[in-house]
């Protein structure tokens, strides 16, 4: 079974608007971490934000925030005030357990910001 599901292959957003990227996950381990990475067209993987399963508050990093709904097993990324430079592919990934640092990735969502 897929551990990470990203159901939106591609999205368009107007510059300066907010966009929400969906991510649902599947794990039976009570300890896990969720990561979001950005991959611009140049190909590198850029870490954006992290949410731990025991974190009481939703993570925020600048214009990025996580809408973490543990009961629903979802960790949606919200990008506020979109910029042209936000056009990229975005990946949600999960680490399970404390000691195992392997990541399981979703298929990714391509975001295109329109001027």
| Size of residue set near other proteins by CB under 8 A | 26
Asked whether position 95 contacts other proteins by CB under 8 A, the answer is yes
> Among residues 108, 114, 68, which one has the least CA distance to residue 87?
114
Interface residues for other proteins in 9-28 (CB under 8 A)?
9
Tokens of 24: 């649902």
CA dihedral (52, 55, 61, 63) positive or negative: positive
- Residue closer to other proteins by CB (options 35, 64) is 35
Nearest-angstrom CA–CA distance, 93 and 38:
11
Helices of type H across the chain: none
Largest CA distance in the chain: 44
For position 4 contacting other proteins by CB under 8 A, the verdict is yes
Candidates 18-26, 64-72, 77-85, 105-113; binding stretch for other proteins (CB under 8 A): 105-113
Summarize as ranges the residues that interact with other proteins (CB under 8 A): 4, 6, 9, 33, 35, 37, 42-45, 47, 50, 52, 91, 93, 95, 98-99, 101-108
């Amino acid at each position: 079974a897929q551990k990470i599901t990203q159901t939106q292959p591609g999205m368009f957003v107007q510059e300066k608007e907010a966009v929400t990227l969906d991510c649902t996950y599947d794990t039976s381990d009570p300890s896990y971490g969720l990561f979001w990475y950005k991959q611009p067209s140049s190909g590198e993987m850029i870490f954006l934000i992290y949410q731990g399963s025991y974190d009481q508050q939703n993570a925020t990093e600048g214009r990025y925030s996580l809408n973490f709904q543990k009961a629903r097993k979802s960790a949606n990324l919200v990008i506020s005030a979109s910029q042209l430079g936000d056009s990229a592919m975005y990946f949600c990934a999960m680490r399970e357990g404390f000691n195992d640092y392997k990541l399981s990735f979703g298929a990714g969502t391509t975001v295109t910001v329109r001027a």
